Amino acid sequence: EAGVAQSPRYKIIEKRQSVAFWCNPISGHATLYWYQQILGQGPKLLIQFQNNGVVDDSQLPKDRFSAERLKGVDSTLKIQPAKLEDSAVYLCASSLVSPLAIATGELFFGEGSRLTVL
Amino acid sequence: AQKITQTQPGMFVQEKEAVTLDCTYDTSDPSYGLFWYKQPSSGEMIFLIYQGSYDQQNATEGRYSLNFQKARKSANLVISASQLGDSAMYFCAMREGDNYGQNFVFGPGTRLSVLP
């Protein structure tokens, strides 16, 4: 079974430039999360999708961050314009959700996209 | 308010010894799940163990066990017989609500260093 795919793995940009990250979740996983992980800290939720609808984007800085999940499969996270404090690893995760499933609902993570803003 | 608290920023343990990583959580939802993840220096997030709020017994997975004390709202991870490869960041996380893809929050993490 293929895991969560993310690209690019690394990106270096200058402040005020824009960047986009792509995520393809595990097939069949309805829920998709984007997390921001600053060095030495725990992942912080940016946005959560259920299929192609937004469940929670309360911590997404909407003046500069946007995300979409067209057709309820892959997703794109965009930052425009980037600030120095956006330097972080952006983690995408997906989970299997079902009221009938006995799965624990754990998150499956991609390898992350490391952003450096100069 | 922090939903997940991990009070140990760093821990050291001698190889082959056991170590306990602390986690306390805060929720008013009667249904929730608690998770531990390991993040080595390579950056990948590895799922270790899960405990459901209604589970009567503490979860175990190989060398990992979860000391679940519901009344105290704690979910400590116990690693037995530590190995050098256990050196990593460890995150406690909580999913509130049932298995409908609800809110999933992480703690700040504990960095574990295993000494030879």
Q: List chain A pLDDT tens, one digit each, 118 residues.
A: 689 999 999 999 999 999 999 999 999 888 899 999 999 899 999 999 988 889 889 999 999 999 999 888 999 999 999 999 999 999 999 988 755 544 577 889 999 999 999 9
Residue A51's pLDDT is 86
Residues with Cβ within 8 Å of residue A31, at least 6 apart in sequence:
A48, A49, A50, A55, A94, A95, A96, A97, B101
Residues of A in contact with B91 (CB under 8 A): 42-43
Query: What strands, in cross-sheet order, belong to the sheet with A75-79?
Result: A5-7, A19-24, A75-79, A65-68
Tens of pLDDT, residues B54-101: 998 999 999 999 999 999 999 999 999 999 999 999 999 998 876 555
Q: Do A43 and B106 touch (CB under 8 A)?
A: yes
Tell if the CB–CB gap between B106 and A42 is shorter than 8 Å.
yes
Please give the Cα distance from B90 to B10 (Å, whole number). Answer: 10
A79 near A68, Cβ under 8 Å?
no
**Which residues of chain B have a Cβ shorter than 8 Å from any chain A Cβ?**
4, 33, 35, 43-45, 47, 50, 52, 91, 93, 95, 98-101, 103-109
Cα B77 vs. chain centroid, distance in angstroms?
A: 5
Q: What is the pLDDT of residue A38?
A: 96
How many Cβ atoms from other residues are within 10 Å of residue A57's Cβ? 17
Tokens 């030495």 sit at which residue?
Answer: A40
Q: Which of B35, B105, B108 sits opposite A106 (nearest CB)?
A: B35
pLDDT value of position B97: 74
Residue A99: predicted pLDDT: 56
Contact A99 B106 (CB under 8 A): no
CA distance A113 to A20: 10
Inter-chain touch B101–A55, beta carbons under 8 Å = yes
Position A28 scores a pLDDT of 87
Alpha-carbon distance of A23 to A21, in angstroms, equals: 7
